[in-house]
Structure 1
Amino acid sequence: MIETISQIVLGLLSIYILYKFIQSIQLVPTQRAYIVERLGNYHKTLGPGFHALIPFFDQVKYRQDLREETIEVQPQECFTKDNVKVEVDGVIYLAVIDPVNASYGITDYRFAAVQLAQTTTRSIVGTMNLDDTFEDRAIINKEVVKVLSEMEQAWGIRVMRYEIKNIYTPKTIQNAMERQMTAERERRATIAKSEGIMQSTINDAEGEKKEIINVSEGEMQRRINEAEGVAEEITELAEATAVSIEEIADALSNDKGKEAMQMRLAEKYIGQLSKLADDSNDIIIPTDITNYDDMIKGLSLDKISIIPDEEKK
């Protein structure tokens, strides 16, 4: 009986010793850190890989995850500067950078980070008006991260960022904000409509102005073109007259030209006499009809003079 009990105790002791030897073999995964204590004191930190410990002396006390983790901050009541009660919740993104401090520097760094984030959020919201809490979320996030960063070395963690998820307001405040937003939209719509009418009026006036300018410029250009046309016509007529006078002068420089001109003047003289006779129903004859040659000689170019209009009458 005693031998049987001894064998059972010996067997259990062997199993326990074997279990301890197996337990002393540690396989640490990537992005993990194991804190080993020897006889109750911190001994070393095990990184990723295979490790063998001394049974009964060494013990893995803490297992820390070095990956970035997300911790939710539960909704909490805050009072704004204008005495409006709101509920604010958020999310903390942090990671363990010092496994030893994360294990021994604080009992629970997750709980501590959440509590510090809540108290900091309450303090910051208390310095803002209600409208500012919605517009300046980035400021609240930045301040919470700043406060948490002051505890990084002591707690062995690093806060990557903090984000406010929601800001809940009472129903009465929501109704008042909705009415305010509606009034603001109507005001903006009225301003936009008036600006549109004003711009339309300005555009119409600009269009009429440009039309009047174009018409006046067109009229001015037409008159300029007509004046230039008349000037060119006068110039061409003067040039043609000058050319004809030069040709007549060249023709009169010889005897035959003079005879032809005297003949032409005689024809003109006789034509004028017949025209006067037709107009007055009178007969006009020279004083000496028998002396036709002397009358023609009297029309010589050398004796022609310009008769004033008064004498012609």
Structure 2
Amino acid sequence: MEIALILAVIAAIFIVRTFKIVPQQNAWVVEKLGKYDRTLTPGLKFVMPFVERVAYKHSLKEVPLDVPSQVCITKDNTQLQVDGIIYFQVTDPMRASYGSSNYVFAITQLAQTLLRSVIGKMELDKTFEERDQINSSVVNALDEAASNWGVKVLRYEIKDLTPPAEILRSMQAQITAEREKRALIAASEGRKQEQINIATGEREAFIARSEGQRQAEINAAQGEAAAITTVADATADAIRKIAEAIRHPGGMEAVNLKVAEKAVEAYAQLAKTNNTMIVPGNMTEVSALIGSAMTILKQRTPQ
């Protein structure tokens, strides 16, 4: 009975050490008699007991690694408290097993060293403006070194950049001054634009008024010209009609009669409006004019 139990235990140990189930996104490194033999991929695998053993187990997933905070000195001798995070992935399980005794620690230390070197080449203001450049520089240098360890460095991100309290106060004062400067510039630009708008409006209004006055004068001149033309046309038409009437028989006698009548009326008016009697210098002409008028009237009077 005891022998059967011992055999059962030995069989169980044999089975456990022989059959291995490797999870997805994992890789197990197998050594045979202390020497690297092969890498087990996901699934059910067989390992020879007592001769082969699983020496290393690696996850092939992307791994985030926090980089401890450290003090870095910029090019203009300003201290910065910097911390970040690295994302890496094991791409070669064999190299990850034998390339470094502790690749996680090696990546962390190298990231800190590279970060101090990159920030030391920049001034304080540039470190805030060029985070992407810092991240890219650290990733490129890390990836080149980590390739010997079977690790691919995917990204590095700076989580925080913290300058000393005195620098923070100075930066805040500078930001406040810049904002006040921008506000004053904006106000002056607004006043300038307001004056420009007012001047432009006055100019356009003056132009509009002058154009209106000019158009009014043009319209008045055109109206006056049209009136003069109309009067001239009417006068010319009247003259033509009078001339036409004179050319007909008796026309001239009618003209003479009209002239005589007007002359008599004029002398009569002069006598009424003045206490002094005005007598023509040549009474013969007046008598002849009146005689002509009477002769014309007798001729026109029916018998």
8 Å contact kept, 1:74–1:90: yes
TM-score by length of 2: 0.83
Structure 2 residue identity aligned to 1:117: A
**41-50 vs 117-126, greater mean Cα deviation:** 41-50
Change in Cα spacing, 1:291 to 1:157, as seen in structure 2 (3 Å) is closer
- 2:140 maps to 146
Q: Which stretch shifts more, 229-238 or 89-98?
A: 229-238
Moved more, 275-284 or 190-199: 275-284
Counterpart of 2:222 in structure 1 is 228
1:94 aligns with 2:94: no
2:168 aligned residue: 174
Q: CA deviation at 1:36?
A: 2.3
Q: Quick one: distance in 2 between partners of 1:202 and 1:268?
A: 72
Residue 294 of structure 1: aligned partner: 292
Render the CA deviation track for 1:242-285: whole Å, top value 9, x for unaligned: 33333333333322554544444343333323333333353769
Q: Letter of the aligned partner of 1:173 in structure 2?
A: I
Among 88, 98, 114, the residue aligned to 1:120: 114
Q: Could you tell me which residue of structure 2 aligns to residue 217 of structure 1?
A: 211
Equivalent residues of 2:75, 2:120 under 8 A apart: yes
- Aligned in 2, Cα 1:280/1:103: closer, same or farther, shift over 3 Å? same
Contact 1:24 1:58 in 2 (8 A): no
Say whether 1:130 aligns with 2:130: no
- Is this contact kept in 2: 1:20–1:56, CA < 8 A? no
Distance 1:238 1:103 in 2: 121
RMSD: 2.8
Question: Secondary structure of the equivalent of 1:255?
Answer: coil
Find out whether 1:185 has 2:179 as its counterpart. yes
Q: Look up the match of 1:155.
A: 149
- 1:105 and 1:256 mapped to 2: Cα distance? 146
Q: Which runs of 5+ in 2 are unaligned?
A: 297-303
Tell me: CA distance 1:278–1:139, structure 2 relative to 1, closer, same or farther (3 Å): same
Match in the other structure for 1:194: 188
Partners of 1:220 and 1:88 in 2: CA distance: 76
* Aligned counterparts of 1:94 and 1:42: Cα–Cα separation in 2: 24
Equivalenced residues, count: 292
How many angstroms apart in 2 are the aligned matches of 1:51 and 1:260?
A: 149
For residues 41-64 of structure 1, the C-alpha deviation after alignment (integer angstroms, 9 at most, x for no partner) is: 222222233333333333222222
Does the 8 Å contact 2:89/2:154 carry over to 1? yes
Contact kept in structure 2, 1:277 and 1:284, CA below 8 Å: no
- Give 1:65 deviation, angstroms: 1.6
Partner of 2:21: 27
* 1:74 Cα deviation from its structure 2 partner: 0.7
Note closer, same or farther for the CA distance 1:258–1:173 as it changes in structure 2 (3 Å cut).
same
CA distance in 2, matches of 1:106, 1:143: 23
Equivalent residue number for residue 308 of structure 1: none
Aligned to 2:53: 59
Cα distance between partner residues in 2 of 1:254 and 1:49: 140
User: Structure 1 pair 237/161, CA: closer, same or farther in 2 (3 Å)?
Assistant: farther
Contact preservation (8 Å) 2:257, 2:292 = no
Instruction: Write the distance in 1 (CA, Å) between the matches of 2:170 and 2:278.
Output: 118
